[in-house]
Structure 1
Amino acid sequence: MSTDKESRLSPQERLGLVMDVLQHGLSVHRAALAYRTSPATVRKWVGRYLAQGEEGLKDKPVERRGRRGPITPSSAMLVLRLRERELSVRDIAKTVEAAESVVAAILERAGLGDAMSTATPIAEADTRMPGELVFIVTARLTAIEERDRFGRGRVLDGEVLFAAMDDCTRVLFAAVHEDESAQTARDFMRHACAFFAALGVAVQRIVTGRRSGFRSHTFLRACREAQVGHHFGHFGSSSANSKSRQAEDLVGLVQSEWGATSHSSASHRRHALTDWQYHYNWKRLHPGLDRTPMAALGALLGGEPPPDPTKIWTP
């Protein structure tokens, strides 16, 4: 029998670490640096909190034999990873071999309890005016190699495509960022709202996936400040409805048309996205609308298609 008293973190510090990871969107590695510990230790305390609540963060004997509880800390961490893949509570429970009530409790501690049950009905609602519902989806981009003037190369990996689509008109706003952190998700949401505002559209509600950046307090606080309702969708799962699949298909379209082009550098890839976005919104006929998205927006707003916002607004 052994205890956790040799740990450098007090129970209060462990709770602060866990909250920074689960609620503030801090990555495991950055949390390890901030609290001067290892990533494995961060995962251990987050897993114990998810499995047992605050009781799991206390100094107490750890039994070496027998069952430690309804679910192990490592399985609790697996629950979050499976949820990020948009699996249902029932599917997760089958995978980790735990009761659905145990999985639901873990998701509740991670701040994913209440929002999940209301996501699908809101995403299914019909939208008749621009801005009523905007989907924000992300996709990780392939690595790209850049070379300087001396011929030295470096590989940029991990860049993320963010795309915001108005459900009513299919108008698109997209940008490439270096990560999916809480601050990046917040900034993209603000830029997307500013883009639509330049078109005369006020964003009322947004639907996102369940990545940690969208679950963070930083992102939720920004939504409240912007007076934008925020809901979670079922992207990439069997329970995804038609609207969620349309948003996913849009990201696939962006990647297949814009991403299929060979780009010499990351900056070139980003400039090419701006050009493709203009083509999609103003020039390309949308098959579901029989017109361009901007023409559809202009018709609903009672006038001609609005001008290109990039000429009057830049993020």
Structure 2
Amino acid sequence: MSHSNAALTPRHRLKVARLVADDGWPVSEVAARFQVSWPTVKRWVDRYLAGESMQDRSSRPRSSPAKTPKTVTKTCVSLRLRLREGPVQLAARLNIAPSTVHRILRSARLNRLAYVDRETGEPVRRYEHDHPGSLVHVDVKKLGNIPDGGGWRYVGRHQGEKHRAATQSKSRNAYGGPRVGYAFVHTVIDDHSRVAYTEVHDDETAVTAVGFLHRAVDWFADRGVTIERVLSDNGGAYRSYLWRDNCEALSSTSKFTRPYRPQTNGKVERFHRTMADGWAYARCHTSEQERRDALAGWLHQYNHHRPHTACGNQPPFSRLINVPGQYS
């Protein structure tokens, strides 16, 4: 493909060459007709007569004596993955300029440590299943309940402790002590579309998790998605026989992440962070019930209207086809 400032495209270069070489036109007339200089016309005529291509040649030099040797480049990348040091430290080890190290790391897409897995030192491997329902991620997010009147994040530590004490006086745990308690946010997110289904419960037991899974499967089924595999961490609820048996009853394969490797379940972990910023702590909720009531509206905004970078800056529901209420 010719460059943006070229006066002649490859097709017109061939036409110019044929007018001169085959039809006998003078070079000056052809140059005037196509509004180019006569050396340009002669260049394409010479290439035509030599049987060469009319495409642009590479501007890369035949030799680069100052080019960084491949052995140095490979060593630089290897040290970056193994030691995770910056350009200055690597430059001292390799006896080259830090700018050269930075250029090498940029070309290998390792210039940011976020691109390197912290545990293995290898480049981050990203994946996405090819259709909705092929794999869903399941997890639970534990949040502290908001006392009546508002939590400390918005009213301050002093006033927040007063609200907490007042709420505790109304609520008692199984042993008769004061309790504000926790909210357990159960989430299922589709790997391909990033469509999420979420419920808030007061515990994370196997019975609660299984009931939530059944409702999530029905919710996705109403939208034309059949869940084939379920990926979860190694929590007690997901390692229970009750979870295994219900996954089999739902014709879904239960899969687990490696121990101490939450990155494997990173899509739902990242969703929980988005949910915390956009819903849980987005504004001052005066009670836990008020916050829970706001979840449905935020979840609809997330699924139907909020642009998602993994979906090409389109909402997650844009990856589901012919779903009722998809564009509402």
Q: TM-score, normalised by structure 1?
A: 0.52
Mapped contact 1:142–1:158 kept (Cα < 8 A): yes
- Is the contact made by 2:233 and 2:256 (CA closer than 8 Å) also made in structure 1? yes
SS in structure 2 opposite 1:203?
coil
Q: Is the 8 A contact 1:136 1:164 kept in 2?
A: yes
1:189 pairs with one of 213, 222, 243: 213
Alignment of 1:161-200 (within 5 A): 161-200=185-224
2:198 alignment partner AA: A
Q: In the alignment, which residue of structure 2 is the partner of 1:252?
A: 273
Contact 2:232 2:265 in 1 (8 A): no
Corresponding residue to 2:325 among 292, 301, 307: 307
Q: Which moved more, 1:243-252 or 1:152-161?
A: 152-161
Partner of residue 48, structure 1: none
Match of 2:232 among 181, 201, 208: 208
AA aligned opposite 2:256: F
The 3 A distance-change label for structure 1 pair 161 and 234 is: farther
| Matches of 1:172 and 1:126, distance apart in 2 | 15
**Residue 224 (1) aligns with residue 248 (2):** yes
Superposed displacement of residue 271, structure 1? 1.4
Deviation readout 1:246-269 (Å, 9 max, x if unpaired): 221111111121111322223222
Q: What SS class does the counterpart of residue 189 from structure 2 fall into?
A: strand
Report the secondary structure of 2:255's partner residue: strand
Partners of 2:193 and 2:319 within 8 A in 1:
yes
Structure 1 stretches lacking a partner, 5+ long: 1-122
Tell me which amino acid in the other structure corresponds to 2:216.
Answer: A
**Alignment of structure 1 residues 230-249 onto 2, 5 Å:** 230-234=254-258, 237=260, 239-241=261-263, 244-249=265-270
Report matched runs for 1:18-29 at 5 Å.
none
**What does residue range 13-162 of structure 1 map to in structure 2 within 5 Å?**
126-146=128-148, 153-154=170-171, 155-162=179-186
8 Å contact 2:206–2:242 — kept in the other structure? Answer: yes
Aligned to 2:289: 267
> Could you list the per-position Cα deviations for residues 148-202 of structure 1 after superposition, in whole angstroms to 9, with x for gaps in the alignment?
xx99644531221111100000001011111110101101111111110111111
Residue in 2 aligned with 1:61?
A: none
Q: What CA deviation, in whole Å up to 9, does each residue of 1:242-295 have, x standing for no partner?
A: x52222111111112111132222322221111110000011011121201011
CA deviations over 1:121-164 (Å, ceiling 9, x no partner): xx9874111000000011110232248xx996445312211111
Give the secondary structure class of the aligned counterpart of 1:211.
coil
SS at match of 1:141: strand
Contact 1:146/1:153 (<8 A) preserved: no
* 1:295 aligned counterpart, secondary structure: helix
**3-state SS, counterpart of residue 251 of structure 2:** coil
Cα distance change, pair 233–306 in 1 and its aligned pair in 2 (3 A): farther
**5+ long unaligned stretches in structure 2:** 1-124, 150-165, 172-178
Q: Is the 8 A contact 1:133 1:204 kept in 2?
A: yes
Higher relative contact order (CA 8 A, sep 6+): 1
Within 2, Cα distance between the matches of 1:208 and 1:254? 18
Looking at structure 2, the residues matched to 166 and 197 of structure 1 have their Cα atoms a distance apart, in angstroms, of 12
Tell whether the 8 Å contact from 1:234 to 1:244 is kept in structure 2 after alignment.
no
Q: Distance in 1 between matches of 2:320 and 2:276?
A: 24
Letter in 2 for 1:138: V
What is the rounded CA distance, in whole Å, between the counterparts of 1:125 and 1:285 in structure 2?
Answer: 20
Which structure has the larger Rg over C-alpha atoms?
2
Aligned to 2:320: 297
Runs of 4+ in 1 over 6 A off after TM superposition: none
Q: Which amino acid in structure 1 is aligned with residue 316 of structure 2?
A: P
Deviations 1:193-229 (A, max 9, x none): 1110111111111101111111111111111111111
Call closer, same or farther: CA 1:219–1:252 in 2, change over 3 Å. same
Whole-angstrom CA distance in 1 between matches of 2:299 and 2:233: 22
Give me the CA root mean square deviation.
2.7
How many residues in Structure 1 have an aligned counterpart in Structure 2? 178
Secondary structure of the equivalent of 2:292? Answer: helix
